[in-house]
Every structure is written in C-alpha cells, then in structure tokens.
Chains A and B, each alone.
Chain A
Amino acid sequence: MKINLLKKRSLRLKRAEMVRRTNKIALIAGSGLFIFSVLFVSGRYIYFQLRGNALTESIRKLEADLAGRSVEILEYARVKQILGVVSQVQSQRFKYKDVLSGLYGLLPSQAGLVSVDFAGENVVTATIRFNTVVGYEDFLARLNTASSTSGFLFKEVAEKSLIKDSAGKYQLNVEFKL
C-alpha cells in the first residue's frame, strides 16, 4: 500500500495559508471598523460643537436685536389674536339677510310677512298674512316651485297653523328648517 505524503503535506500548507489569510482579513476589517467608528464619532462631535457654538452666537445676536423690539412683538401677537377672534366670529355668523331674502322671495304680491323669529337652532318661524285664500294658494305654488330648484335654502317647510281672523284675512304660521 502506498501513501501519498506529498498530498497530505500540500493540504496542510493550504489550510495554513487559509488561516493566515483569514487572520489578515479579520485584523484589517476589525481595525478598519474601529478606525472608522473613532473617526465618525470624533468628526461628528467636533462638527456638532462647532455648529452649536455658531448657533449660540447667532441666537445671542438675534435675542439682542429682538429685545429692543418687544413692543412690536406685542403688537404683532395681538393682531394675530384679534384676527383669530374675527375669523372665528365671522365663520359662525348666521346669514340673516340670505334667509330673510329667501323668505321674501317666496311671498306672492298679495302677502306680507307679519313676523319672523330666529330663536330656534336652524329653525325660522314666520307668520305670513294673506288678504285672500288665493294668496295662500299662490304661496304654496311658489313654495313647490322653489323647493325643486337647486339653490333652495330650506331643508323642510312645515305649516303650523292657518287662521282666518275677524278682518277676513288669513294668517299662516310656518316653520322653515335650514
């Protein structure tokens, strides 16, 4: 039986070479990472320190500048506050004129508004006087026509009562929901 001693020796040499290479790579990679982390931390630290100093100096100058303008700041802040209040109030305003015009637009020529009450939330109660029952019918016809249009202001119109008074005139109490 023959044993190939050269092959065994060659394998040992190869393995040794591989270990050497691994050692070299590990050392270079480890050192590289270490140096990179040290440089990164140091660099960032120095940068932040310099940037911080520059900002502190800039802030000191700005504060000194603004210290002499405190009245202007007060005035400016007040304007902003007031405009906030004005915006809020204006956004919550009820468009009385639009509603009154809408009501007025429903009236035939023989009718007149006796009273209008806006006390309820999104509800307007109105009393309308008609000289004759023809006026009342005309009002209903106008209401039907207007409610089918896209710009009709009211979601619902409810008749509460219709009374004929001693003078022979008709009073209609009607509720408009917005």
Chain B
Amino acid sequence: MAAPTEDEQKIFGFVLPPGVDGELVRQSVLTYLALAFLITIFIFFVAPRFADLVIVSNRVASLSTREDVLNGTRVALDTFRTSVDSSSLDAVFLAVPAKYDPGLILLSLRKLASDNKVGLTSYNLAGGKISEDASVLPENQLNRNDVLVEISGPPPSLINFVDSLDKYLPLVSVSNLSISEVSKLLLEGGADLKLEMKLTYYNMPVMVGPDETLSGKLLTEADLTLTRALSLYSRLGSAPSPGAGTVPQGGGKELLFGF
C-alpha cells in the first residue's frame, strides 16, 4: 500500500480525496459525533428521569393535599368551639339523638300538646331497639321511627301544634295529616276537632371509629346558621314556643272547621 503524498490528507485513518478540506471534514465529524453522544446520554440517562420526576411530583402533590386536609381539620377544630357554643351543640345532638328514646318522644309530644292547649288523644309508637351493644351498631345509619298521633282541640290550636312541630326538638317530620270532626253530635255542641298524622323521628348511632380527618366534612356557613337556628328551637324543659297558643291568621273569619 502506497504512503499518502503531501497533498493527500488523512482523517481518523481514512485518506481523503484530493481537494477536500480535511479540517472541515474533521470538524463536521467531531460535531455530529458529539451531538450523537449527547443524544445517546439524553435518551438513556436523562429522559427516563422525566418519568421519575412525574412520580416524585405526584407524591409531593399527594403530600401537599394531605397537609392541607390536616391543616383544614386543625383549623376547623380550633374554630369549632368558638363558633358553636355548648347549647347549640346540645341542640344539634338532641335534633337527631344517637339512640331511639320513646320516652323522650312521648314527653316531648305531651309538652307540645300542653303548650298548644290540645289533647293528646292517642299515640302509637312503632317498635324499635331501645338498647343495643354500641360496638355492633351500624355506623351513620339513619333510623326512622314512626309515631301515629291523634290529637284533639280547637282548630287554631291544632294548626299551631302542627306548625310548632317544625321548630321543636328532636327533629320530626309530619306526614299523612288529616283533620276531621270528632262527631256530628259533639260538633253541634262546639266540641273539638280530631287531627291524625304520622310523625317521623330520627336517630343515628354514633360512629364507632372516628375519622382521622374532616376531609369533605367541614361545616359551611349554612351549617353554622342552621346550628344557631336549632339552638333556638323549643324542647323538653324549655319555655313554650313564642307562637304556641296563638291563633293563625287564616282569612280573618270567625268560623273555622265548622265552629
């Protein structure tokens, strides 16, 4: 093999044809080799880190969310006592008691009847568990306890009785209401009317295991307003409700329900 002459140039062991700028070829080759090296490093070492970066980023986002939840829980607990006093708290717990208490229901009905000057003619409580092992109670299950009630009295008092149920504790909802004369004979003598209705009381067992946080359970302004409103509701042991015993303003007539 012949040795290269003075005009011939050799790059990386290759002999270049005459007239080719050897320096330029060398520079170009080195440039693209360097770029190829960088791309290789990027593909094998840098790009895979982007996936790791996403994982770490998600982990931080998750931790940040958890911190927000815990912070929110702490702030909510701190402000809870200042925004809800103990009487409001008692009213809330009385609205939906943990246990079914037929005694409380009956005493409440009697007091309400007395406040509104109507007679509690009869009542019929549907059965329910009045004693149960707390450890086996299903959590957060709202139980409905129906009471069929029959009251008698002057029409305005009956209406007041129904109306005052809406502002009385424990919480109750009224359904299947009907009003009728006691009897024709009694009606002629100016007797009372009879009101039948179904009352539904509620109870909800206490949770066995408390939640760690209050995520999704923070009290809203509407909740706080409702709490304050509940504290003003009448209940057993409280003074008669302001509206009790007042005649509703129906049509301003003197004759009502045949009287």
Q: Do A and B come from one complex?
A: yes
Inter-chain contact B210/A71, CB cutoff 8 Å: yes
Q: Are B73 and A66 in contact (CB under 8 A)?
A: yes
Range of interface residues on chain A? 35 or more
What's the count of A-B pairs with C-beta under 8 Å? 223
Assess A38 versus B46: contact at CB under 8 Å? Given A73-B213, A83-B227.
yes
Number of interface residues of B (CB under 8 A): 83
A80 adjacent to chain B (CB < 8 Å)? yes
- Take A48-B57, A48-B60 as given contacts and tell me if A93 and B166 are in contact as well, using a CB distance cutoff of 8 Å: yes
A164 CB within 8 Å of chain B: no
B28–A23 CB distance below 8 A:
yes
A125 to chain B, nearest CB (A): 9
Q: Please give me the residue from chain B that is nearest to A111 by CB atom.
A: B255
Which residues of B, 11-43, contact A by the 8 Å Cβ criterion? 21, 24, 27-28, 31-32, 34-35, 38-39, 41-42
Question: A112 touching B174 by the CB < 8 A rule?
Answer: no
Contact partners of A66 in chain B: CB under 8 A: 70, 73-74, 77, 212-213
Q: A16-B24, A71-B210, A73-B213 are in contact. Are A62 and B255 (CB under 8 A)?
A: no
Chain A residues in the interface with B (C-beta under 8 A): 16, 19-20, 23-24, 26-27, 30-31, 34, 37-38, 41, 44-45, 48-49, 51-52, 55-56, 58-59, 62-63, 65-66, 69-83, 85-87, 89-90, 92-94, 96-97, 100-101, 104-119, 129
- Binary contact track B205-232/A, C-beta < 8 Å → 1, others 0: 0110011111001110011001100100
